Amino acid sequence: GDCDPDTWEGCPEDLPRSINKNALELLKQRQLMSAIELHVSGHNSHESIDYQNSGAYIFRPTEPDMDPILVGDNGAPVSSWVSQGPLVTEITQSFGSWLNQTIRVVKGASTAEFSFTVGPVPVDDKLGKEVISKFSTSIKNGDAPAISTDSNGREFLERVYDYRPTWNLSNTEPVAGNYYPSNAAAFIRDTDSQFSVIVDRSVGVASLAEGELEVMIHRRLLVDDSRGVGEPLDEYDSSDTGDYLNCKTGNGIVVMGTHLIGLNQPSSAMAEVRSSMDETYAPLVLAFSQMESASLPKTKSQRSMVSVDALPSNVKLLTLQAVDEGALFLRLEHSFGVGEDATLSQPVVVNVTSFVISLGFVPSGAMELTLTGNQPLADLDRLDWTTASSSPLHDDAIMHKAKASEFAKAFASDGDGTITLDPMEIRTAVVYV
């Protein structure tokens, strides 16, 4: 079409959803924000015992403080083209024969999709390489940049460059020493904006300079890191099982993935992040099955359908399982942390009786269990350690035991059917039906 991906001239101004005012500017800066770069392990061709190589367990660039190496046309794509339709606009970028990226904006969506295809990573120069996707923004997250990463999809932890909260850090690896694991999302923010990246697998992330967020998306290394694996991190797309010593054949593997990118005001950002995390981790699946015509019902049958508002928007159904005849195993989670959102981070009242009824069951009672489901919560008895101050674990157990009767009362004939979930709390129960 007439949409020029280099100057953005002729491109529609209403591509992103109107509530995300900064999304268009985000995409206009894509040449800087979506640079694909390399951390090259120059000594990864060395077997020297006094040099630590990058490998399966270790990330270590050639120089501890080296800048990543730009690929493509000095960091910009070698070629790019636009596909534009009434619902979706795509910008496809090629950084070389082994590296491509597609930026996708869907009408009505609050995030932009960055889909990448990387590999086989070239190693003709005998150098191992670690490929990153780096986003550069104007966010002022500090001279010692701070980045927040999730802890297994739950609470977010703030990570500050060259800093550890419980000891004085002397960091000799300013690149590798500031990489952190992210299972679902990471973000940087200032008082005006939050830039978020939702990932589709566990990755390493870092903010090594103000306004930057980088994600490692592929690694191909040629020397073992001497940490126990006994082979370099150099995977191929096929193998010869008959040749144990030289079993790898074919080409280096190709990695594909998608990151969701969001730019929001801090006050509303976490609502978007949490929603996108859930959609990425557990997308809707459409399934079909064949049925014999004779088995089709001759009359309409009534089937239970769960209402979309059966649970509050900040409550997630983690587990629903039939554990015995007449018994359901139920876990509910408050999906927001303390202070993440002015409204959604508040304690929430859940009508569990109405929820179970909406599933088509008639509940007769319930008993709350520990998180693992192996004993009644009322029977929980943690060891009471003697400490200089009160034990958080012991205090937490006392608080939860005090709530243990809430589930039973909710399903009692004179109960109001409700329980309360605090931020990040998970409650587990067996419901009798």
Q: Per-residue confidence at 198, pLDDT binned at 50, 70, 90?
A: very high
Q: Per-residue confidence at 148, pLDDT binned at 50, 70, 90?
A: very high
- What integer pLDDT is reported at residue 395 of this predicted model? 60
Torsional class of 158: left (φ above 0), alpha (ψ -120 to 50), beta (otherwise): beta
β-sheet bridge partners, residue 194 = 189, 264
Q: What angle do CA 28, 30, 35 make, to 5 degrees?
A: 160
Per DSSP, 164 falls in state B
What DSSP element (H or E) covers 394?
Answer: helix 392-402
CB 261 within 8 A of CB 110: no
330 token code pair: 């139920």
Supply the Cα-derived Rg of the chain in whole angstroms: 26
**Cα four-point dihedral sign 406, 397, 148, 77:** negative
pTM comes to 0.81
β-sheet bridge partners, residue 258 = 115
CB 243 within 8 A of CB 2: no
Torsional class of 143: left (φ above 0), alpha (ψ -120 to 50), beta (otherwise): alpha
pLDDT tens-digit map of 285-341: 888 877 666 555 554 444 445 565 689 999 999 999 998 888 999 999 999 999 999
pLDDT tens-digit map of 58-91: 888 888 888 888 888 887 888 889 898 999 999 9
| Sheet of strand 69-70, all strands in order from the earlier edge strand to the far edge | 69-70, 35-41, 128-136, 212-220, 203-206, 180-182
- What integer pLDDT is reported at residue 237 of this predicted model? 83
- What integer pLDDT is reported at residue 180 of this predicted model? 96
**Cα four-point dihedral sign 379, 380, 383, 384:** negative
DSSP 60-111: --SSTTPPPEE-TBTTB-SEEEEEE-SSEEEEEEEEETTEEEEEEEETT-SS
What CA–CA distance (Å, rounded) separates 72 from 94?
8
CB atoms within 10 A of CB 373: 15
SS3 breakdown of the chain: % helix, strand, coil, rounded to 5? 15, 35, 50
Provide the CA 44 distance to its chain's centre, in angstroms: 30
Q: Extract the runs of DSSP E, i.e. beta strands, from 336-397.
A: 348-351, 365-369
Q: For residues 388 and 261, which has the higher predicted lDDT (pLDDT)?
A: 261
